[in-house]
Structure 1
Amino acid sequence: MGGYILRRVFQSVLILIGITFLTFVLLYLIPADPARQIAGRSATAQTVENIREQLGLNLPFYQQYFRYLTGLLQGDLGRSYLQKTEVGALIWSRLPATLLLMVGAIVCELAIGLTMGLVAALRRNTATDTSLMVLSFVGVSSPQFVIGILLLYVFSVQLGWFPIGGYGTFMHMVLPSLTLGFLGAGWYSRMMRSSMIDVLRQDFIRTARAKGLKRWQVLFGHALPNALLPIIAMIGIDIGLFMSGIVVVESVFGWPGIGQLAWQAIQRVDIPIIMGVTLVSAFAIVLGNFLADLIAPLIDPRIKLR
C-alpha cells in the first residue's frame, strides 16, 4: 500500500506540472494582451509597455514559465493583475462556496441517479425502465445553462419557491445543486442499471436466494454493494466534471465560488487567476481519482492495490 501511494503521488505531481505547462502555453498564445486590458483603451503604447515590463510579460516564454513554476514550488500562485491580490487568498476565500455546491450536487446526482438506476434494473424491459432511461438520456444531453435557466424560471420566477440567485442559505443551494446533479444523475442511472443487472445474474445472488433470504436482504446486502463498485470510480471523475461545469452554473445563479472567479478572470485575461483556478481544479480531479482507488478495496476486499 505504501509503495502504491508513493507512486500515485509521484504520478500526480507530474500530471499537475504537465497541466501547468499546457495551460501556460495556451495562455501565452492567446491574442489578447493582459497589459492592454489593465491599462485601458486610452493608454499610450509606452504605458502599456511599462505595465508589460512590470508584470514580466516582455520576457521569453521559458523565463515566464520558470518564474511561475519557481513561485508555485514555494506555494505562491501569483498575484492578480487587476485585483492586486494574491491568487491563493482569492481562491481560498471562494473555495468553501464551491465545495459546498459540489457536495450538494453529488448528493443530488447520487440520490436521483442511483434510485432511477435501481428501479430500472428491477423493472427492466418494462415501460418504467424505458421511461427512466429516456429521462436519463435527456439529462445527459441537456446543457447545464439551459437546465439552470429553466429551473430558475419555473421554481423562482413562476412559483417563487427559491431565491433567484445568491448565496448563504440552504434554499440558495437547492437549484444550483440540482442543475449540476441532473447531468450526473443521468450517467449514474444508466451505469447503476447495467451494473445491477449484471450483478443479479451472478451465482452468489442465486445462492443467497436459495438460502431463503428475503428479497430486500439479497438486494441491499449482496447485490447493491457489488453494483456500487463502478459508481465509486465515477464519483472521483465527477469532481473534475463539476470543476469544469461549475463555471457556468455559478455564473447563472450568482454563486460566489471559484467558477465565477474564473469566469471574471477569463473576461479580463487575468492570467494568474486562470492559472490558479486551473491548477486547483486539476488537483481536485487527481485527488478525487486517488481517493476513489483507495476506497474501492474497502468495499470489495478482492481488489488489490499494486
Structure 2
Amino acid sequence: MSIHLLRRIMESLLILLGITLVTFLLLYLLPADPARQIAGRSATVETVENIREQLGLNLPLYQQYWHYLTNLLQGDLGRSYLQKTEVSELIASRLPATLLLMAGAIVCELIIGLTLGVISALWRNSRTDRILTLVSFTSVSAPQFVIGILLLYVFAVKLHWVPIGGYGTFAHLILPALTLGILGAGWYARMMRSSMIDVLEKDYIRTARSKGLSRGRILFRHVIPNAILPIIAMIGIDIGLFMSGIVVVESVFSWPGIGQLAWQAIQRVDIPIIMGVTLVSACAIVIGNLLADMVAPLVDPRIRIR
C-alpha cells in the first residue's frame, strides 16, 4: 500500500507540473495584456511598460515560469494583479463555501442518482424503468441556469421555504446543492443501472438465489457493493469538478465560491488568480482520484493494490 501510494503521489506531482506548464503557456498566448488591463485604456505606453516590468511580464517566458515554480515550491501562489492580495488568501476565503457546496451536491447526487439507478435496474425494461431513464436523460441535458431558476421560483419565490440566495446557513445551501444534485444524478443513475444489471447477471448472484437468500440480502450484500465501484470513481471526478467552481450555479444563487473568483479573474486577465484556481482544481481532481483508488479495495476486497 505504501509503495503504491508513493508511486501515485509522484505521478500526481508530475501531472500537476504538466498542468501548470500548459496553463502558463495558454495564458501567455492570450491576446489580452494584463498590464494594459491594470493601467486602464487611457494609460500611456510608458505607464503600461512600467507595470509590465514591475510584474515581470517583460521577462522571457521560461524565466516567468521558473519564477512561478520557485515561488510555488515555497507555498506562494502569487499576488493578484488587481486586488493586490495574496492569491492563497483569496482562495482560502472562498474555500469553505466551495467545500460546503461540493459536499451538499455530492450527497444530493448520490441520494437521487443511486435511488433512480437501483429502481431502474430492478425493474428494467418496465414502464418504471423507461420513465426513470427519461428523467435521467432530462436531468443530464437540462441547462444549469434553468434548473436553478426553476427551483428558486418554486421554493424561494412562491413557497418561501428557503432564502432566494446568499450564503451562511443550511437553508442557503439547499437549493444550490439540489440544483447540482439533480444535474449530476442522471449520470449516477445511468451508471448504477448499467453496473447493477451487469452484476445481476453474474453466476454468484444466481447461486445466491438458488440458496434461497432473500432479495434484500442479495441486493445489499452482493449486488450493490459490487455495482457501486464505478460510482466511487465518479465521486473522485466530481470532487475536482466542484472544487473548480460551478460558475453558473454560483451566480444564480449568489454563492461566494471559487467559481465566481475564477470568472472574475478571467474577465480581468488576473493571471495569478487563474493559475491558483487551476492548480487547486487540479489538486482536487488528483486527490479525489487517489481517494477513490484507496477506497475501492475497502468496498471490494477482490481488488488488490499493486
The normalised TM-score by structure 1 is 0.97
Within 1, Cα distance between the matches of 2:305 and 2:256?
39
2:125 aligned residue? 125
Shifted more, 144-153 versus 270-279: the winner is 144-153
Partner residue, 1:17: 17
| Equivalent residues in 2 for 1:142-181, closer than 5 Å | 142-181=142-181
Say if 1:180 and 1:242, in contact at 8 Å, map to a contact too: no
* Deviation at residue 282 of structure 1 after TM alignment: 0.3
Point out the more displaced range, 145-154 or 252-261: 145-154
Structure 1 residues 245, 82: closer, same or farther in 2, change over 3 A?
Answer: closer
Q: CA deviation at 1:244?
A: 4.5
Q: Which amino acid aligns with 1:154?
A: V
Which amino acid in the other structure matches residue 199 of structure 2?
Answer: V
Q: Percent identity?
A: 77
Comparing 169-178 with 151-160, greater Cα deviation is found at 151-160
Q: Deviations over 1:240-268 (max 9, x none)?
A: 23235512221221111111111111111
User: Displacement, 1:127?
Assistant: 0.8
The residue number in structure 1 matching 2:257 is 257
Q: Deviations over 1:10-68 (max 9, x none)?
A: 11000001000111111111111111111122222211111111111111111111111
| CA–CA separation in structure 2 for the residues paired with 1:165 and 1:148 | 11
Q: Which residue of 2 aligns with 1:32?
A: 32
Q: How far, CA to CA, are the matches of 2:55 and 2:150 in structure 1?
A: 43
Unaligned residue ranges in structure 2 (runs of 5+): none
RMSD over equivalenced CA pairs, Å = 1.2
Q: In 1, Cα distance between the equivalents of 2:233 and 2:250?
A: 25
- Per-residue deviation, 1:144: 1.6
Secondary structure of 1:21's partner? helix
Contact between 1:180 and 1:245, CA under 8 Å: does it hold in 2?
Answer: no
Residue identity in the other structure for 1:95: L
The residue type equivalent to 2:2 in the other structure is G
Unaligned stretches of 5+ residues in structure 1:
none
Stretch deviating more after TM superposition (30-39 or 240-249): 240-249
CA distance in 2, matches of 1:297, 1:291: 11
Moved more, 237-246 or 65-74: 237-246
Partner of 2:134: 134
Q: Deviations over 1:269-293 (max 9, x none)?
A: 1110010000000000000001101
Which residue is 1:241 aligned to? 241
CA distance in 1, matches of 2:152, 2:108: 17
Q: TM-score, normalised by structure 2?
A: 0.97
1-side partners of 2:241 and 2:79: how far apart?
27
Q: Distance in 2 between matches of 1:284 and 1:98?
A: 12
Q: Contact 1:144–1:245 at 8 Å: present in 2 too?
A: no
- 1:190 aligns to what SS in structure 2? helix
What's 1:203 paired with?
203
2:255 and 2:72 map into 1 onto residues whose CA distance is 28
Cα contact 1:117–1:190 (8 A) shared by 2: yes
- Name the CA distance, whole Å, in 1 between partners of 2:94 and 2:85: 13
Q: Number of matched residues?
A: 306
- Extract structure 1 runs of 4+ deviating beyond 6 A: none
- Partners in 2 of 1:191 and 1:29 — Cα distance? 39
Q: Is the contact between residue 109 and residue 182 of structure 1 (CA under 8 Å) also seen in structure 2? A: yes
